[in-house]
Amino acid sequence: MAHIIGSVSTSHVPAIGGAIARNLQQEPYWKPFFDGYPAAREWVQGARPDVVVIIHNDHGLNFFLDKMPTFSVGTAAVYDTADEGWGIPALAPAPGNPELAWHMVESLVADEFDITTCQEAQIDHAVSLPLALLWPEHQARGEWPVEIVPVCINTVQAPYPSAARCWRLGQSIGRAVESWDSDKRVLIIGSGGLSHQLDGERAGFLNKEFDLKFMDSLVHDPEWVTQYSNDELVELTGTQGIELLMWVAARGALDGAASVTKKHSNYHIPISNTATGLLVLEAA
């Protein structure tokens, strides 16, 4: 059966794409952010993933306000990257893994998650930037060393699924991957958050204390955050801070592992309007 090697959860901010394109990684503004990633890359290289299940939110590229699935899974053979309006360069298309994707669709629906199946989809900065941060040499060559299965959670238009439900979605993803008849090694990526609010009266709102408590909880007490309703999470982390749901689902996918060990973390505020976090967990 396929093996889940662990998870990497990371913030995504479109400006990261601009910084990579302009080689600004060593600039004082960017350095504390980019310096978080070499240790994550080292762990990923050693863990040798073949396939990545990347749990992300779409930002108006695939789904708009007229049609908004709560959960979706991409079953495409290839995903073009696109920019939904930030002016950042599109990166290389990412190969999919339709075999795992269809197995996940079957397994998730059997598990009573009524997901939308996307046989065609584009990927925005929430998928392309974590790939670029983990595999910069490949990105520079215009290729990726892994296949992806994108899982999208709606955090754009209310109502959003609760943290408790995203935790259970993650558990179901974990069961799906672990019942896939394959010798592939699977990495889970959670792409979103942490605290940020892009507009409105509280634009620029960040909550370092909550973010650090949340990151810490994912190591030893991962269901801690499920005590909060989404209204409470928005109050605590800002309107877009709700993207932390990706981290909850990614951690849920490791719940079936005998042990989960923290390998690396980084936290830096702000990048653009966002509190950026990075957490690497090894599953055994």
User: What's the min distance (Å) between Cβ of 206 and ligand DHB?
Assistant: 10
Residues 6 or more apart whose CB falls under 8 angstroms from that of 201 comprise: none
The answer to whether 238 touches 160, Cβ cutoff 8 Å, is no
Closest CA to 174 of 56, 11, 43, 2: 2
Interface of this chain with ligand DHB, residues 232 to 251, rule: CB under 6 A: 240, 243
268 binds ligand DHB (CB under 6 A): no
The verdict on whether 125 is a catalytic residue reads: yes
Minimum CB–partner distance for residue 76 and ligand DHB (Å): 22
What 3-state DSSP class applies to 146? Answer: coil
- The residue number with the shortest CB distance to ligand DHB is 272
| 194 in contact with ligand DHB (CB under 6 A) | no
Total residues at interface with ligand DHB (CB under 6 A): 12
If one asks whether residue 196 binds ligand DHB (CB under 6 A), the answer comes out as yes
25 touches 140 (CB < 8 A): no
| Only segment of 90-98, 147-155, 176-184, 271-279 that touches ligand DHB (CB under 6 A) | 271-279
CA-based nearest residue to 146, from 174, 118, 182, 184: 184
Query: Would you call 260 helix, strand, or coil by DSSP?
Result: strand
Provide the minimum distance between the beta carbon of 175 and ligand DHB in the complex, in angstroms, as a whole number: 29
* Binding of residue 56 to ligand DHB (CB under 6 A): no
Smallest distance, ligand DHB to C-beta of residue 190, A? 13
| Contact flag: residue 14 with ligand DHB (CB under 6 A) | yes
Residue positions counted in the chain: 284
The one catalytic residue among 3, 12, 56, 125: 125
DSSP 122-142: EE-HHHHHHHHHH-HHHHHHT
Contact between 274 and ligand DHB by CB under 6 A: the answer reads yes
Packed helices 98-110 and 163-178: angle between N→C axes, nearest 10 degrees: 120
Q: Is 56 among the residues known to form the active site?
A: no
Residue 176 to residue 170: CA distance in whole angstroms: 10
Q: Are 33 and 276 in contact (CB under 8 A)?
A: yes
The reply to whether 3 sits near ligand DHB by the rule CB under 6 A is no
Q: How far apart are CA 222 and CA 257, in angstroms?
A: 13
Q: Which residues of 178-207 are buried (b: 16+ CB within 10 A; e: fewer)?
A: bebebebbbbbbbbbbbbbbeeeeeeebbb
Determine the interface stretch with ligand DHB among 65-73, 102-110, 253-261, 267-275 (rule: CB under 6 A).
Answer: 267-275
Q: CB of 191: closest distance to ligand DHB in angstroms? A: 9
Is residue 63 helix, strand or coil? coil
Pick the catalytic residue: 196, 220, 264, 268? 196
Examine residue 75 and tell whether it contacts ligand DHB (CB under 6 A): no
The reply on whether position 13 binds ligand DHB by CB under 6 A is yes
Least Å distance, CB 163 to ligand DHB, is 18
> Which residues ranging from 90 to 129 are in contact with ligand DHB (CB under 6 A)?
none
Binding site for ligand DHB (CB under 6 A): 12-15, 59, 196, 198, 240, 243, 272-274
Active-site residue numbers? 125, 196
